[in-house]
Amino acid sequence: MKKRLTIFIAMVLAIYFFLIGGVYAATITAASCSQANVQTAINSSNTGDIVSVPAGNCTWSGNLTIANTKKLTLMGAGMNSTIISGGAFNLGQSGSRVTGFGFSGGIINADGYNFRIDHCRLTFSTWTDGIAVMSRNINPPVIVTGLVDNNELNNMRVRIDGTNYMMVEGTMQNQLWITNLDIGGPSAVYIEDNICNTGSGGVNCVDGNYGGRYVFRYNTMNGLDTEAHSVMGDNRAERKWEIYGNIINNTGSNIYFPFRIRGGTGVVFYNSVIGNWSNDGIALDNVRSYSAVGSGGQCNGTSLWDGNQDATGYPCRDQIGRGGDAALWVNSPPAGYNQPLVPVYGWLNRTETNGNVPFMVINSSGNHIKANRDYYDYTASFNGTSGMGAGTLANRPATCTKEVGYWATDQSTTNLTGMVGAHPSTPLSGTLYKCTANNTWTAYYTPYTYPHPLQGGVIVPTPTPPAAPTNLRIL
């Protein structure tokens, strides 16, 4: 008996020390910040290790790559100390972290799940894609997730695409459009607590297309807007976007709109719009409403890409206020239209004089994008019949018309102080209720945990890949 107990204790201790040994990551220090030395350090590391890159100024001329099978932390000595000029950093599907670097003219590419890019400075002489995220060459594609936080982003945008923009004719983007929306959930790329600046007439700080999903929150922007693209050829539009808690400032020459949202669905709320804008509004449009593009042509009642419920062609594929495909859709020959109505909601976006920042339909898109059908806008006199309101839960109207919305919160609905910009002192708190049937309110949306769990090193569960259901019908 004593011998068995001794063996048992020895086995427990062996397992204990094995597990403890796995907890503490090794630190691999690169000999210098040169591309060759950093790549050597990466190649000699294992999943969980920290690759430490010393201070210095180095120029890279090619791609530095982390293997898909390694999840690493690549740590510079700080954005003012480890300065990398040129080159490209490819995280692949590794889900790795890059922190503490100053990049000058070098792009970061990321695919897969749970990557993190933080506490870096990225600077470009001409506005461009500085961080490019998509499900590259992964079939079926994955819903890319990750975090871009606490960075200084100069003259660049973070581009969130669903899959390879080169592969628009295949089924990869279509597979991303049969997945759950997961509004308010972790299945998106989160961009938070960043400072976005421009110096050469940049366009936007965030953009996306090809079935991508992003949440852009608590950022401070100077001279840039936010965008999401529509069908502009044989591609699919951005699937989902959530834009809230940002300071969107323009101290330079006029920019058209602080927001330009062209496809998919989502929410826009509690953003502070200040500075020099041609229009203090949230622009909504749809390229195919006024232009014949790709094999789908124009949305005008003649294209099989669209719903064609009336002579205008409404609803247009992937237009504002449309959800995912009920069954996998194919481009050519086009399958039947099967996208449900999932309206867009906007509330309490304010100017520096506390004026409302409303939705505005532009570019002859009015036949297809209509208030109180495809989008619901905030109104101070909300009574439950149209638009959407905000206030305490106790003040929510007892009666409601289907699809209207109400933001229930105990926070101020007139003063955004402390709730917007990078590192808000009082993050937004509340629940968006949607009228799912006449006089029936249902909780629809709550903002995801802030700060994002990856800021604390927590691994977010991997979302289910968009595999087709077993009873899938190709219509």
Q: Please indicate, yes or no, if residue 17 is contained in any of the structural domains.
A: no
Q: What is the pLDDT of residue 461?
A: 46
Q: Please indicate, yes or no, if residue 474 is contained in any of the structural domains.
A: no
- pLDDT exceeding 70 applies to what percent of the chain? 89
Q: What is the DSSP string of 94-162?
A: S--EEES-EEES-EEEE-SS-EEEES-EEEEEEEEEEEEEEETT-SSPP---EEEES-EEEEEEEEEEE
Range of the domain at 295: 111-456
Q: What is the pLDDT of residue 467?
A: 38
Predicted confidence (pLDDT) per residue in 208-255, tens digit: 999 999 999 999 999 999 999 999 988 899 999 999 999 999 987 778
Q: What is the pLDDT of residue 7?
A: 41
Average pLDDT over residues 56-67: 96
Measured torsion, CA atoms of residues 303, 305, 309, 310, in degrees rounded to the nearest 10: -30
Average pLDDT over residues 300-316: 97
Average pLDDT over residues 168-188: 87
Average pLDDT over residues 150-173: 82
pLDDT at residue 323 above 90?
yes
Average pLDDT over residues 456-469: 47
- Confirm if 410 and 431 have CB atoms less than 8 A apart: no
Q: What is the pLDDT of residue 249?
A: 95
Average pLDDT over residues 396-409: 98
Q: What is the pLDDT of residue 258?
A: 96
Query: Structurally, how many domains does the chain consist of?
Result: 1
ω into 427 cis (within 30 of 0): no
Mean pLDDT, the chain, integer: 90
Q: Please indicate, yes or no, if residue 257 is contained in any of the structural domains.
A: yes
Q: Please indicate, yes or no, if residue 303 is contained in any of the structural domains.
A: yes
Report the alpha-carbon distance of residue 366 to residue 198 in Å, rounded. Answer: 32
> Which amino acid does the sequence have at 465?
P
Q: Please indicate, yes or no, if residue 29 is contained in any of the structural domains.
A: no
| pTM, 2 dp | 0.91
* SS3 of residue 3 by DSSP: helix
Average pLDDT over residues 382-388: 98
Q: What is the pLDDT of residue 464?
A: 40
Q: Please indicate, yes or no, if residue 9 is contained in any of the structural domains.
A: no
Report the alpha-carbon distance of residue 358 to residue 404 in Å, rounded. Answer: 16
Q: Please indicate, yes or no, if residue 233 is contained in any of the structural domains.
A: yes
Unique residue bearing structure tokens 């890409």: 305
pLDDT at residue 423 above 80?
yes
Q: Please indicate, yes or no, if residue 420 is contained in any of the structural domains.
A: yes
Q: How confident is the model at residue 72 (pLDDT cuts 50, 70, 90)?
A: very high
